[in-house]
Structure 1
Amino acid sequence: MLSQLRPALVLLILFTALTGLAYPLAISAVAQLAFSAKANGTLIERDGKIVGSELIGQNFVSDRYFHGRPSATVGPDPADATRMVDAPYNAANSAGSNLGPTSKKLLDRVNAAIEAEFAAGRIDIVAADAATTSASGLDPHISPQYALAQIGSVAKARGIDESRLRALIAAQTEQRLAGVIGEPRVNVLLLNIALDALK
């Protein structure tokens, strides 16, 4: 019995040390050396203070800023911890809504987003990402069409000429990877930081 138990325990300890300690530490060291910014969350610092990450969207609500796409993340209800409530851009609970195409809640949310876009006077045609959430609920990017749709309200709130905002969006638009992978996109946080830097 002991002759069978001893090798099993030795292998358990050995593989726990290798796969549970040595391998993760080695990968972390390589990541810190080769891709330090990405390994640390691609954090953005401004005036010595961290203002966000390039990888996680934020909830901008002021008309002075460009808005990201809606978020379907949830969090615990402050009044009842056993219930979950909508908590936009809750990075601790990244997930899609899992609502199907026949869901009334999904239809109501999309219609409310569309009505809000029209009420804000952004455009006559609403970009898809202005009314729908991403799979993670934390997408930091919007389409150039949605960014351009918000120019009127941002220009009015800031007293900036719309042509300057168009040029800013063009400068902040990331193109397809290798010219074929993905879609053109605009990182909302980086766009708003560039917006604040306009004189």
Structure 2
Amino acid sequence: MKNHIVSAFRLTFVMLAVVGLYLAIVYGGSKILPTQGNAEIIHYKGQKFYANIGQEFKSEKYFHGRPSNVNYNAAGSGASNKGPSNKEYLETVQKRIDTLRMQNPEMGNVQVPVELATASGSGLDPDISEEGALYQARRIAKMRNLSVEQINTLIKDQTQKPFLGFFGPSKVNVLKLNIALDQLK
């Protein structure tokens, strides 16, 4: 019995050391990120927004982000868990594509960027690709009486390059892009 208790204590201390080291590495790693592992809060027009949580924009005057299977509710993040062979999922994606083509008729039969038709794993992705933003540029220019060049320049200015130049893709934060869009005039 004494051998079992001693073995249990040894295992407990070894696991505490391993888990503690892991947590220290994760915490330390988060501190080198641009937001240092914290939420990025933006105050705009008397409201508080979290730039690292997807927001819903319904107006045709704004860029739209990725669809959300949780209605952008950060308390219940999650995916649909339906794969590309699921008929219901394929119908949902096709409806999203049809809606995007209807909202952006200027784009004709140009392929819809995948992130505009599919929800992310968390349902809260705040970013889209530069291509996803450019796909919507003509609609935004038309709705706001701006030139497409102005909108494209704004998109280029708001595009975040990969972390350290090569970690991850270029991306555009939809909330920040829409705030910058409001500040154009």
Is TM more than 0.5 here?
A: yes
Aligned length: 165
Per the alignment, residue 7 of structure 2 pairs with none
Per the alignment, residue 134 of structure 1 pairs with 120
1:39 CA displacement: 6.1
Runs of 4+ displaced beyond 4 Å: 37-40
1:56 CA displacement: 0.2
Per the alignment, residue 142 of structure 2 pairs with 156
Per the alignment, residue 83 of structure 1 pairs with none
Counterpart secondary structure, 1:145: helix
1:41 CA displacement: 2.1
Per the alignment, residue 82 of structure 2 pairs with 99
1:108-123 equivalences in 2 (<5 Å): 108-120=91-103, 121=105, 123=107
128-137 or 187-196: bigger deviation: 128-137
Amino acid corresponding to residue 172 of structure 1 in structure 2: Q
Distance 2:69 2:173 in 1: 19
Equivalent of residue 53 in structure 1, options 38, 50, 55: 50
The answer as to 2:127 corresponding to 1:172 is no
Distance 2:144 2:180 in 1: 14
1:148 CA displacement: 0.3
1:68 CA displacement: 0.2
Distance 1:169 1:39 in 2: 25
Counterpart secondary structure, 1:45: strand
Per the alignment, residue 193 of structure 1 pairs with 179
Per the alignment, residue 17 of structure 2 pairs with none
Distance 2:181 2:118 in 1: 25
Deviations 1:82-139 (A, max 9, x none): xxxxxx2111110111112221221011100110111111522211111111111000
- RMSD of Structure 2 on Structure 1 (CA): 3.0
Distance 1:47 1:128 in 2: 32
Counterpart secondary structure, 2:134: helix
Per the alignment, residue 68 of structure 1 pairs with 65
Contact 1:94 1:137 in 2 (8 A): yes
Percent identity for Structure 1 against Structure 2: 42
Amino acid corresponding to residue 134 of structure 1 in structure 2: S
Distance 1:183 1:195 in 2: 23
Distance 1:179 1:68 in 2: 24
Per the alignment, residue 89 of structure 1 pairs with 72
Q: Which runs of 5+ in 2 are unaligned?
A: 1-27
Distance 1:122 1:94 in 2: 34
Per the alignment, residue 167 of structure 2 pairs with 181
Per the alignment, residue 143 of structure 1 pairs with 129
Deviations 1:125-179 (A, max 9, x none): 2111111111110000001001001011111111111110000000000011122
